[in-house]
Amino acid sequence: MTAPTTSAGFDAAYRAPLTLWGDIRVPREVKAIADRLADGKVLELGCGLGRFSQYLAERGLDSTGVDFSPVAIDKASARVAGKARRANFMVADVTNLHVPGGPFDAAFDIGCFHCLDAEGQAAYAAGAASVLKPGATLLIWGMETAPSDQPFTPDAAEAIFEGHFRLVRSAPSRRRFARSYWLWLERL
């Protein structure tokens, strides 16, 4: 099964009882955001069902998750109702990002950026820069052989984010059994 490419396609996938790309385990890289920020505002780009945003809210951070699937946002909102008051979810397009509540102290993306085409990736970089504080961290995980057929490597990301962010660190990964990378970028 390949990932859908449209909001309607993701809506259909999120209506299914199980999505193959949905994570249950919170990655240690996301946990590190909570450890590093005693208090603050965090943005999850492409949040899907919102498990990671919920985790951060339960750790005391103001967490906002955005996704372009209304079905995913409805499910994310329902999962935190009465549990994680500091978690908020909204329908938004990461390639045309307008999110109230910023600027944010950090943002993260686990599997969204690598689905975008070249134009979408450039718009994502500019949009993320517009909602993050200078010096804020943007953490991205993506597969080296990306669903978009755009290369996802540290060098490729450095070129896309140039002028908005600097690449601070990268680490190869085998997350989801795929050759992939974690990238830590800093907002200029």
Task: Print the domain residue range for 81.
Answer: 7-11+25-187
Q: 126-144 b/e with 16+ CB inside 10 Å = b? A: ebbbebbeeebbbbbbbbe
Report pLDDT for 22: 60
- Rounded CA-CA distance 26/184 in Å is 17
**CATH number assigned to the domain comprising residue 110:** 3.40.50.150
* Model pLDDT for residues 66-96, shown as the tens digit of each residue: 999 999 999 999 989 888 789 999 999 999 9
Residues facing 143 on adjacent strands: 180
Confidence label for 46 from pLDDT (cuts 50, 70 and 90): very high
Does 61 score more than 80 pLDDT? Answer: yes
For the entire predicted model, the pTM comes to: 0.92
20 located within any domain: no
16 assigned to some structural domain: no
Evaluate whether residue 18 is within a structural domain. Answer: no
Q: Are 52 and 108 in contact (CB under 8 A)?
A: yes
- Please give the structure tokens belonging to residue 84: 């994680």
Confidence class for position 19, pLDDT limits 50, 70, 90: low
Number of domains in the chain: 1
**Does any domain span residue 1?**
no
Is 46 a member of any domain?
yes
pLDDT at 1: 47
**Which ranges of the chain does DSSP label H, i.e. alpha helix?**
7-15, 28-36, 51-58, 70-80, 118-131, 154-161
pLDDT classification of 8: cutoffs 50, 70, 90: confident
2 is a domain residue: no
CB-CB contact of 61 with 87 (8 Å): no
Flag whether 147 is in a domain. yes
In a domain, 17, yes or no: no
Residue 150 near residue 124, CB atoms below 8 Å:
no
